[in-house]
Amino acid sequence: MGGNAPKGFLTDQCASMKRALEACMPTTVHRWCIWHIMKKIPSKLNGYKGHADIEQEMSQVIWNSHSKDSFDRNWNDFLLNFGLADNKWLSVYVWVYYADLYEHRHIWVPIYLDHHFWAGMRSTQRSESMHSFFNKYITQNSSFIQFVKQYDNCLRSREQAERESDAADFHTVIPCATKSSIEAQFQDAYTHAKFREVQAQLRGYSVYEVGEQVSSSIFNKFVVTYDSVAAKVKCQCLLFESRGILCRHALSVLSFEQVSQVSPRYILERWSKKVKRRHTHIKSSHDEPLMEPRSKRFDQLVFRSQNICEFASESEELTAILHRAYDNVIAEMESLKAKRKGTSSLSHENANLESVNELQSTPRIRTRGRPKNRLGSKLDKQITNATKKKKTRVLSEVKVMFFKFVAIEFIFLVNSLANV
C-alpha cells in the first residue's frame, strides 16, 4: 500500500474487525457487506405475517432512498406501517440493545456511502469469487511445495486471461447502441467490459424527462446539477462518485444541453483500454528464477522512460527529438540482436542453475488442539479388535455353511442322475 491506509474496507458484520479498523485505520471508510445483511432478512422476519411484503418494502427503502433524510423518513414509515417499531433488529430506538441495523446505517446503507469511490463493490462476494478461482488450483490438503507451484500457475492463468482481454479490446469493436457522440467517445476509450456498463446507462437515459422542475409526483425525481462553464455534471444518485460511470440521469441532461463530448474528468484512466498494467510483466520466482533480473531491468526502464516522456511532451520540438532517438535506439538494438542470433537473448547474470535450491515441503508437525482423530484408549482398541474377530468368525461360518449347502446340492444332483 506504499505506507498508506486503504481508502475503503469491506467486511461482514464483525464487531471485532470494526473496532480494529477504527483503531488502526481511522481515515479508512469501513463498509459492511450489504449482501450478508439482505441475506439475513428472511430468517429475521420469517415469523411475521406477510413477511414477503415486509422484505420487499425494506428493499425499496434501502435501494430507492436518494438522500439521508429520505432514508430516515422512509425507514420510520416502514416500521410504523408494518408494526416493527419494537423489532430488536430493525428498531430506530437506541435504548434497544440490539438496535443494530439502524444505528450503524452509516456503514451499510448505500446513500450514506456512495459519495465515496468503491469501483462498484458493495459486497464481499468479489473476494469469495476469488476464493473459488484459487480453489481450482489449491486444496486444503495441498503441501507447501504444491501451493507455491500452483500459485504460480494461478498467476500465469490470470495474466493470460488479461492478455486475451486486452487483445479483444484493441482488435474488436462493440457497436454503439445509439447515435450519441458521447457513446462513441467512451467506445474509443474504455475496455469492452466497462463500455458495456456505460451502454446500459445510455440505453436508459431516453426514458427520462429533463426540466427545471417535474410537476407530477408519480415520477422519481433525480436532481442533476450541470455547470456548462466548468463542464461539470453531478447527479443525486451518486453513480459516478461511487462507481466511476456517468448515470443515465446525467447523460439525459448532457443530451438535453446538446453536449457532444464529456469532460476528460469523467473518463477514468483505470477503465481505459490503453492502460499498461505493470503486474503483467512480473514473472514466477519459482518456475523461472532467471527472469527476476529482467523484471528489475524492465521496472528501471519504465521509470526512466516515463520521466523522459513527460519532459518531451512539453513541446513538439522535444517530442520530435525523442522520436528520432527512439528510431536510432531501436535500429541499434535490432542490429545487436541480429549479431547474437542463435544465442539466448536473456542475460543470465552469471547465474548457475545448479546453485538454485530446490524448494522442499516443510516437515509435518503436530498442531495445537485436539487432533481430528482421537487417540483410542486401551479399552477402545480391545473392543475394536474383538469386533473385527467376531466379524471374521461370522464370515467364516457363513462360508462353511455355503460350501456345505453346495456339497449337499451336488450329492443330490449326482444321486438323481444315477437313478435316471
Could you tell me if residue 416 is inside a domain? no
Could you tell me if residue 366 is inside a domain? no
pLDDT confidence band for 382 (50 / 70 / 90)? low
Which three cell numbers, joined as nine digits, stand for 43?
Answer: 430468517
Which three cell numbers, joined as nine digits, stand for 169?
Answer: 479490446
**Same domain as 182, residue 55:** no
* Mean pLDDT for the chain overall: 75
CA distance 133 to 10: 20
20, pLDDT greater than 80: yes
Cβ-count burial of 138 within 10 angstroms (0-12 exposed, 13-18 middle, 19+ buried)?
A: middle
| Average pLDDT score over residue span 186-203 | 89
Domain boundary among 75, 110, 127: 127
**Same domain as 299, residue 227:** no
Could you tell me if residue 185 is inside a domain? yes
**Same domain as 159, residue 77:** no
**Same domain as 241, residue 156:** yes
Convert the pLDDT of each residue in 259-298 to its tens digit: 989 999 999 988 888 876 655 555 555 445 545 677 678 7
pLDDT confidence band for 246 (50 / 70 / 90)? very high
**Same domain as 116, residue 217:** no
Helix (H, G, I), strand (E, B) or coil at 190: strand
**Same domain as 140, residue 94:** no
**Same domain as 116, residue 51:** yes
Convert the pLDDT of each residue in 95-121 to its tens digit: 444 447 888 888 899 899 888 888 878
Could you tell me if residue 343 is inside a domain? no
**Same domain as 331, residue 261:** no
Which three cell numbers, joined as nine digits, stand for 127?
Answer: 473476494
Cβ-count burial of 25 within 10 angstroms (0-12 exposed, 13-18 middle, 19+ buried)?
A: middle
Could you tell me if residue 49 is inside a domain? yes
> Which DSSP string do the residues of 16-44 spell out, in sequence order?
HHHHHHHHH-TTSEEEE-HHHHHHHHHHH
**Same domain as 168, residue 261:** yes
CA distance 194 to 267: 11
Query: Quick one: pLDDT at residue 130?
Result: 67
CA distance 340 to 56: 71
**Same domain as 320, residue 207:** no
Domain count, the chain: 3
Domain boundary among 101, 127, 153: 127
**Same domain as 163, residue 268:** yes
Whether 90 and 79 have beta carbons less than 8 Å apart is answered as yes
First to last CA, the chain: 98
Q: Is the dihedral of CA 361, 367, 373, 379 positive or negative?
A: positive
CA distance 109 to 56: 16
Could you tell me if residue 182 is inside a domain? yes
Give the structural domain span for 330: 288-337
Could you tell me if residue 76 is inside a domain? yes
Q: Is the pTM of the predicted complex or chain greater than 0.75? A: no
Q: pLDDT higher for 160 or 407?
A: 160
69, pLDDT greater than 60: yes
Could you tell me if residue 371 is inside a domain? no
**Same domain as 244, residue 140:** yes
Domain boundary among 337, 355, 372: 337
Convert the pLDDT of each residue in 207-245 to its tens digit: 665 666 544 444 567 888 899 898 999 998 889 998 899
Query: Quick one: pLDDT at residue 353?
Result: 42
Return the minimum-mean-pLDDT range out of 122-126, 303-307, 351-355. Answer: 351-355
